[in-house]
Amino acid sequence: ADDAAAAAPAPAVVKATAPAVPGSDAKGLGKALPMAMDIDAIMKLLPHRYPFLLVDRVLEIEVGSYAIGLKNVTINDNFFPGHFPQRPIMPGVLMVEAMAQVGGLVMLDPAAMSAGGTQQQFFFAGIDGVKFRRPVVPGDQLVMKVVLLKMNKRFGIAKMKGQCFVGDELACEAELTLAIVPEGK
C-alpha cells in the first residue's frame, strides 16, 4: 500500500492568476510636477486673491528673467457658469491676466514677501499682438511661460513675451507691458 501511495502522482498545485486590469498602471501617473513656488509662496508675493488669483503653482522661476506658472482649469472656476453655460471656455482676457500674474512674479522682489502679499504692485501698461490659438476648457492645465524682454528700471516698465500652453499646443500668446509702482504710491 505504501508503494501504491508513493507511485501515485502528487496533486497538481494550481496558481490563481489575477485577471488582467485594463488601462495603464495608475502608480506614478499623478506625480507632482516640479515646483519652485507653491500657492502659499505665490500669495505672499502677489497681491491677487480669489477669485482673481490665476496662478496655482510656479514650476520654474529666475527672478528678473523668466517664470513658468501653472493654472489648473476646473469646472468650479467662477467664470464658467456665464462663459458659456452650454460650452465652458476660459475667457481669453483671463489667460492674458494669468500671464501677467506670472510676469509679475518675474518682476517682484521675493525679499518683499509678507503674509498679506508684497507691498510692491504692478499694473498692465499695454498688451500687444494677442493671439488666441485654441480654447481652454475645464480639465486643462494652462502652463504659462513669461520671459522678460526689456526692463527700464528708471521708469519701472517691463516688456515681456507671454505664452500659454495646454500640453504641447499653444493656446494664447501676447507681448505684455507691465509697470511696477513703488511702495506707497
Residue 106 zone, left/alpha/beta (φ > 0; ψ -120 to 50; rest): alpha
**Threshold 0.85, pTM exceeds:** no
Work out the mean pLDDT of the chain and round it to a whole number: 86
Helix, strand or coil, per DSSP, at residue 137 = coil
Q: What is the DSSP letter of 81?
A: G
Q: Are 145 and 163 in contact (CB under 8 A)?
A: yes
- Is residue 171 within 8 Å of residue 136, measured between CB atoms? yes
Q: Residue 120: which pLDDT band, with cuts at 50, 70 and 90?
A: confident
Question: What confidence score (pLDDT) does residue 6 get?
Answer: 58
The label of the residue with cell 453655460 reads 85
| One-letter amino acid of 134 | R
pLDDT in tens, 104-119: 999 887 776 555 555 5
Residues serving a catalytic function are: 83
Least confident of 34-48, 106-120, 127-141, 163-177: 106-120
CB 175 within 8 A of CB 127: yes
Which whole number is the average pLDDT over 89-103? 97
